[in-house]
Amino acid sequence: MGGLTIINTVAAAPPQNVRASARIPIPFAAVRHMGSSSSIRLQTGDALIAVDVQNDFLPGGSLAVPDGDAVVPALNRYLAAFAARALPVFATRDWHPRNHCSFKEQGGIWPPHCVATTRGAEFASGLALPQAAVVISKAVTPAADAYSGFRGTDLAARLRATGATRLFIGGLATDYCVLNTVRDALAEGFEVMLLADATRAVDVQAGDGARAQQEMEQLGARTVRYEELAS
């Protein structure tokens, strides 16, 4: 051993063949997205859940959500994007018996709504559900309510059977069935994208919807808008 040890103390010189003006090219197309989070590319493993987009929750229905019909065209854009990629779609529905415990005459807090097989329980006619959409009925017995699409249903197993890992969730209502579905989805280990432009709140108390959204974000849901999807 014992050879010379050469310590190079000279700082690396900048490459001589690069003009300063050429160092950090920013394509104008990219500037549009700067500052906002990166765009979302739909991929295998994604599934869409349309929560309770039923006539009784729309204007004119027995438990109308303010501006609830706005979720129909908003969800249809996502539905088209999912259809174009042949990604799975699920639709939950409140499907109550006439004497459901959540109804006022049974001591509950809601007017009768979404009684199974009635027009009020049908999906909004303008909602463009694909033929292959999986319908999940919930709160189907008198004694139990279920705001979450996971409660008392096989939704989790059905999702896993399709290989879904990331759920895009929108519909009605932000502060009840969407909130509880998102909570359970996260607890079940799914990634959740909350479709902020495709949900509306009951807002029994002013701010309920905003608080629900905050809670969902704190639990780990990411709030997205359609424009954030990569084309």
Provide the binding-site residues for ligand VGL, judged by CB under 6 A.
Answer: 52, 57, 94, 102, 110, 172-173, 176-177
User: Where on the chain is the footprint of Zn ion (CB under 5 A)?
Assistant: 94
Tell me if 200 sits within 8 A of 73, measured CB to CB: no
How far is residue 134 from each of residues 56, 100, 106, 155, 195, measured CA to CA in Å? 20, 24, 31, 9, 19
- 114 catalytic per annotation: no
* Backbone torsions φ then ψ of 55, nearest 5 degrees: -50, -40
Among all chains, which residue has been given the structure tokens 């189907």? 140
How far is residue 144 from each of residues 7, 74, 151, measured CA to CA in Å? 77, 31, 10
Among 193, 198, 200, which Cα is nearest to 220's? 193
Among 189, 202, 199, 190, which Cα is nearest to 224's? 199
Q: Least distance in Å: CB of 100 to Zn ion?
A: 7
- Tell me whether residue 172 or residue 216 sits nearer to ligand VGL (CB atom): 172
CA distance 70 to 158: 28
Cα of 53 vs its chain's centroid, Å: 13
- Choosing among Zn ion, ligand VGL, none, which partner's interface includes residue 177 (Cβ < 5 to 8 Å by kind)? ligand VGL
Q: Which of 46, 52, 56, 94 is catalytic?
A: 52
- 138 catalytic per annotation: yes
- Tell me whether residue 177 or residue 192 sits nearer to ligand VGL (CB atom): 177
- Choosing among ligand VGL, Zn ion, none, which partner's interface includes residue 173 (Cβ < 5 to 8 Å by kind)? ligand VGL
Q: Least distance in Å: CB of 25 to ligand VGL?
A: 49
Q: Which of 56, 145, 177, 184 is catalytic?
A: 177
- 184 catalytic per annotation: no
* Backbone torsions φ then ψ of 221, nearest 5 degrees: -70, 145
Q: Least distance in Å: CB of 110 to ligand VGL?
A: 5
- Tell me whether residue 42 or residue 57 sits nearer to ligand VGL (CB atom): 57
Q: Least distance in Å: CB of 34 to ligand VGL?
A: 37
- Choosing among ligand VGL, Zn ion, none, which partner's interface includes residue 159 (Cβ < 5 to 8 Å by kind)? none
Q: Which of 56, 69, 138, 197 is catalytic?
A: 138
Q: Least distance in Å: CB of 138 to Zn ion?
A: 9
Catalytic residues, which ones? 52, 138, 177
